[in-house]
């Protein structure tokens, strides 16, 4: 028992050491140059500004889109943004925060993969399976080419979930499930289906309730994100042409081939000796291989695939869970003499595909002001822009609040990301314009009473007709009744989680008392 514990500790140390070797480029001065990395940092800075101004849940990022704002946080995975905002309270630089989430996701994934695989296999196969994750080409492609903090965070949380389900730590499942569901839109569905399938295969019925509670807790995000899509362009915009990325996807599939080698056991072994887990993960691997290869062209003609999954190689995210398990299973079927050599060979195959990704990592050193003052949209085709915006901003407005028509003066008393207060002295009936895009939740109060606002104009900004005289006016972003309902469901989920913990604790106390 003691020797097993020592072996476990040394294995964890070794896995963290190899993970840190892979993460060495993150330790260089500056921030890594990736496709999305800078945008993730910029979005985090805008998110934190809204969060610090009291907006919760954060939905509308007022600084972005040339300071006209738009509701990107209402639709696009805010998980890493909430984590990043908490880390920002410790005064960490924004680029460092994003790199910490990226690196932390790799380390957490590797260690908990090892814990999970140990539930099925002996020490050596579990170690090699866990190690294969941190050196796999697709993981490093996500890290150093794409800078996909959402996908890597989602992978880490998914792995913690399957470990928690398998280990019986059901008390941990609700908060991890909730965070997983807001970590990445596409992966929370794709990998979520795998997790549900895994729970059924393993007959882990005790996980059903805590997973449901986690779903409730995350309602504040996924319910508005799903039902408010009619307000934005997402369903009418093609973010990417998947056929342009099939070649990249096919190359990544080949580079990750060690994860698919265990499929040969399907042909060599009799079905009677194949475990249900092995068959399940084989099906996952086969579907992944087909969808991410040139054969997948048959599927990519579907508008659902194009809009929701966007990139063929994103299907390789299934490798995060299925790949290491299959690899460990394959090695566990070998005799002891061949286990080490085959494990080393497969790991070297993965590493050989990862070397080009590690070799070409570059970093750029920028002042934090570059990120804090950037007012881009942080998306590819402005797919989360409200439909009523016909003329997108090309530059920041000179004044946040202005006289669109009429005569008088406007004196702004307070201007935060969520609220603007002003004093008006008007010589005639006038139209006051707030140079912020309208989105449901914004409202105007004139002299203490709600007033109708209009956004029927090319820019989709807010306008209010105000009579002659002295007035006070407030524009503020709040929760709508529908979003408030989603928030209530989340609150109920938190309460259910508290009750669930009390029930679990009382059961444990009664059990110990009987003993």
The DSSP annotation for 279-299 comes to HHHHHHHHHHHHHHSGGGGGT
Range of the domain at 338: 2-372
**Alpha-helical regions (H) of 27-88:** 37-52, 79-88
Same domain, yes or no, for 311 and 421? no
Identify whether 497 is part of a domain.
no
The helix-helix angle for 276-292 and 246-255 (nearest 10°) equals 140
Same domain, yes or no, for 172 and 302? yes
Q: Which of 324, 352, 372 is the last residue of a domain?
A: 372
Same domain, yes or no, for 39 and 128? yes
Identify whether 159 is part of a domain.
yes
Same domain, yes or no, for 349 and 444? no
What's the pLDDT tens digit per position in 14-30?
999 999 999 999 998 99
pLDDT at 312: 79
Same domain, yes or no, for 281 and 182? yes
- Cα–Cα distance measured from residue 430 to residue 470, given in angstroms and rounded to the nearest whole number: 12
8 A C-beta contact, residue 446 and residue 473? yes
**pTM reported for the whole predicted model:** 0.92
- Quickly state the pLDDT bin for 407 (edges 50, 70, 90): very high
Same domain, yes or no, for 236 and 307? yes
Identify whether 151 is part of a domain.
yes
Same domain, yes or no, for 250 and 211? yes
What's the pLDDT tens digit per position in 222-235?
999 999 999 998 87
User: In total, how many domains does the chain have?
Assistant: 2
Q: Which of 351, 372, 393 is the last residue of a domain?
A: 372
Same domain, yes or no, for 231 and 365? yes
Same domain, yes or no, for 47 and 145? yes
What's the pLDDT tens digit per position in 314-345?
888 888 899 899 988 888 887 777 777 777 78
- Cα–Cα distance measured from residue 159 to residue 101, given in angstroms and rounded to the nearest whole number: 15
With 0-12 / 13-18 / 19 or more C-beta atoms within 10 angstroms meaning exposed / middle / buried, residue 358 is: middle
- Check whether 300 has a pLDDT greater than 70: no
Identify whether 513 is part of a domain.
no
Radius of gyration of the chain (CA): 26
Same domain, yes or no, for 8 and 73? yes
- Check whether 272 has a pLDDT greater than 50: no
With 0-12 / 13-18 / 19 or more C-beta atoms within 10 angstroms meaning exposed / middle / buried, residue 321 is: buried
Same domain, yes or no, for 192 and 56? yes
Identify whether 396 is part of a domain.
no
């Amino acid at each position: 028992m003691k020797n097993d514990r020592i072996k476990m500790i040394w294995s964890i140390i070794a896995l963290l050491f190899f993970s840190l070797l892979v993460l060495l480029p993150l330790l260089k001065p500056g921030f890594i140059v990736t496709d999305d990395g800078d945008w993730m940092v910029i979005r985090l800075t805008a998110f934190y500004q809204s969060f610090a101004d009291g907006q919760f849940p954060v939905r509308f990022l007022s600084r972005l889109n040339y300071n006209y704002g738009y509701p990107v946080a209402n639709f696009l995975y805010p998980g890493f943004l909430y984590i990043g905002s908490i880390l920002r309270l410790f005064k960490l630089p924004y680029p460092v925060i994003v790199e910490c989430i990226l690196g932390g996701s790799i380390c957490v994934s590797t260690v908990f993969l090892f814990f999970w695989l140990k539930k099925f296999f002996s020490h050596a196969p579990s170690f090699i399976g866990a190690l294969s994750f941190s050196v796999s080409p697709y993981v490093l492609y996500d890290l150093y080419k794409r800078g996909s903090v959402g996908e890597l965070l989602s992978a880490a949380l998914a792995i913690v979930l399957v470990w928690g389900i398998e280990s019986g730590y059901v008390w941990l499942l609700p908060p991890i499930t909730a965070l997983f569901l807001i970590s990445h839109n596409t992966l929370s569905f794709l990998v979520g289906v795998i997790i549900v399938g895994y729970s059924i295969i393993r007959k882990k019925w005790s996980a059903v309730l805590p997973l449901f509670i986690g779903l409730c807790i995350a309602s504040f995000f996924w319910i508005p994100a799903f039902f408010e899509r009619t307000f934005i362009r997402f369903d009418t915009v093609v973010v990417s042409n998947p056929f342009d990325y099939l070649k990249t996807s096919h190359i990544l599939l080949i580079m990750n081939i060690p994860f698919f080698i265990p499929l040969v056991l399907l042909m060599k072994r009799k079905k009677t000796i194949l475990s249900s887990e092995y068959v399940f993960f084989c099906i996952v691997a086969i579907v992944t291989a087909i969808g991410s290869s040139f054969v997948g062209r048959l599927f990519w003609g579907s508008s659902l695939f194009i809009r929701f999954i966007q990139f063929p190689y994103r299907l390789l995210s299934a490798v995060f869970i299925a790949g290491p398990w299959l690899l460990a299973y394959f090695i566990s079927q070998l005799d002891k003499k061949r286990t080490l050599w085959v494990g080393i060979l497969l790991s070297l195959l993965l590493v050989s595909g990862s070397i080009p990704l590690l070799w070409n990592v570059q970093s750029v050193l920028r002042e934090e002001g570059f990120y804090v003052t950037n007012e881009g949209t942080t998306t590819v085709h402005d797919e989360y822009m409200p439909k009523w915006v016909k003329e997108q901003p090309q530059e920041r407005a000179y004044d946040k609040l202005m006289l669109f028509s009429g005569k008088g003066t406007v004196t702004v008393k307070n201007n935060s990301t969520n609220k603007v207060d002003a004093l008006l002295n008007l010589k005639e009936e006038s139209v006051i314009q707030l140079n912020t895009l309208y989105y449901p939740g914004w409202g105007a109060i004139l002299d203490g009473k709600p007033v109708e606002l209009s956004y029927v104009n090319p820019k989709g900004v807010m306008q209010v007709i105000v009579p002659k005289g002295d007035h006070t006016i407030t524009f503020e972003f709040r929760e709508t009744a529908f979003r408030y309902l989603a928030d209530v469901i989340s609150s109920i989920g938190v309460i259910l989680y508290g009750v669930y913990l009390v029930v679990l604790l009382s059961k444990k106390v009664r059990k110990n008392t009987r003993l």
